């Protein structure tokens, strides 16, 4: 028997066998954690109704760009959820910038109860989150996005310091900043420090002091040794595979820093992931 519209009855069960049955009180939710401004996501799915019609479910989400979770919920009719995806409608997120998770939930407001997870992973300009078959990928797995970040340019007499943002994970690959010492006769001895927001976890002495009226670039990187490249360049070591969660700080401590000494804005090379 064939209906005027929709999937012929004899074929419905075959089609439905590949889907997830959802009841009238269940909905579909997209949750995204995102760091890139200007991103807009669409969750689109196909549902086979009890009457045999194929219906489209669609909801859009403009996630915040502060890596804090935001979500949108779409209602569903009773039937079989066949397939779906999450794709960007605006913005060009790269892997490591926009992480999305799709769930079946009960309720639409207030105390929404997740029932099942259909998938989770990064959504990029060229790669959607697709189910069935979507992984439930850890947001900190695989490769992240490579970023070159200019930190805060500190005032004179102040040390540079940058903090890993909330809900971000940084793999620190390189760091560079310039110290211009004023004419005060004194010895400045910089140390490169990583702490957890309170307690130091890594400290490296630059090994080369700065005297009055000098200008030196200090570099930190994963190298097998630390030695000055030249009189104006100082190399410092970073541990290999250093990964820092949100709240960790990358900074200096310069013994003998004078009020007129000036550190420039640090430049950081990091690999970044979302980490909830």
Partner 1 sequence: MPKQCLTCRGVYEPQTADGLEYYHACPPVLLVAVTRAGAPLEVFSTDVQPTDTINVLRAGAVVPALVAALEAGDQRLGDRLVPRPDARDENIDPAKPAGRSRARAEGKGTADVRR
Residue 37 is given by DSSP the state: T
Rule CB under 8 A: say whether 256 interacts with partner 1: yes
Q: What are phi and psi of 180, to 5 degrees?
A: -105, 115
Q: Where in 120-159 is the site for partner 1 (CB under 8 A)?
A: 147-155, 157-159
Q: What is the CA radius of gyration of the chain?
A: 26
Q: Which stretch binds partner 1 (CB under 8 A): 2-10, 115-123, 125-133, 162-170?
A: 162-170
Verify binding: residue 265, partner 1, rule CB under 8 A. yes
Closest CA to 268 of 257, 231, 259, 248: 248
* 3-class DSSP state of 15: helix
Joined tokens for residue 144: 């992240």
Closest CA to 211 of 180, 235, 233: 180
If binding is defined by CB under 8 A, does position 114 make contact with partner 1? no
Decide whether 65 or 127 has the Cβ nearer to partner 1: 65
Block residue for tokens 């104006």: 232
How many positions of this chain bind partner 1 (CB under 8 A)?
49
Among 53, 65, 71, 127, binds partner 1 (CB under 8 A): 65
Q: Does 227 bind partner 1 (CB under 8 A)?
A: no
Distance CA 145, CA 149 (A): 12
Residue 141 and residue 132 in contact, taking contact as beta carbons nearer than 8 Å: no
Distance CA 159, CA 178 (A): 11
Q: Is 262 in the site for partner 1 (CB under 8 A)?
A: no
Q: C-beta of 35: minimal distance to partner 1 in Å? A: 5
**Going residue by residue from 183 to 212, which x/- string records binding to partner 1, judged by CB under 8 A?**
-xxxx-x-------------------x-xx
Binding residues for partner 1 (CB under 8 A) = 35-38, 64-68, 97, 147-155, 157-163, 165-167, 184-187, 189, 209, 211-212, 246-247, 249, 251, 253-259, 265
């Amino acid at each position: 028997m064939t209906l005027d519209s929709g999937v012929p009855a004899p074929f419905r069960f075959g089609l439905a066998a590949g889907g997830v049955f959802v009841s009238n009180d269940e909905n579909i939710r997209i949750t995204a954690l995102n760091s890139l401004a200007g991103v807009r996501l669409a969750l689109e799915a196909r549902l086979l109704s009890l009457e045999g019609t194929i219906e489209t479910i669609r909801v859009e989400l403009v996630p915040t760009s502060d890596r804090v979770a935001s979500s949108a919920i779409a209602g569903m009719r009773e039937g079989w959820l066949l397939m779906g995806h999450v794709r960007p409608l605006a913005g060009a997120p790269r892997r490591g910038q926009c992480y999305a998770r799709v769930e079946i939930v009960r309720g639409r407001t207030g105390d929404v109860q997740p029932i099942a997870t259909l998938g989770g992973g990064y959504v990029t300009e060229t790669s959607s989150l697709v189910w069935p078959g979507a992984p439930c990928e850890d947001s900190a797995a695989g490769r992240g996005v490579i970023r070159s970040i200019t930190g805060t340019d500190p005032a004179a007499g102040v040390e540079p310091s940058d903090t890993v943002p909330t809900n971000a994970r940084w793999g620190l690959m390189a760091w560079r900043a310039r110290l211009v010492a004023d004419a005060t006769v004194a010895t400045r001895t910089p140390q490169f420090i990583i702490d957890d927001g309170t307690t130091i976890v890594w400290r490296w002495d630059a090994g080369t002091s700065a005297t009055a009226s000098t200008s030196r670039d200090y570099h930190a990187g994963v190298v097998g040794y630390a030695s000055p490249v030249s009189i104006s360049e100082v190399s410092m070591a970073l541990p290999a595979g250093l990964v820092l969660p949100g709240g960790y700080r990358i900074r200096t401590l310069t013994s003998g820093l004078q009020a007129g000494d000036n550190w420039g804005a640090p430049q950081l090379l990091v690999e970044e992931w979302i980490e909830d």
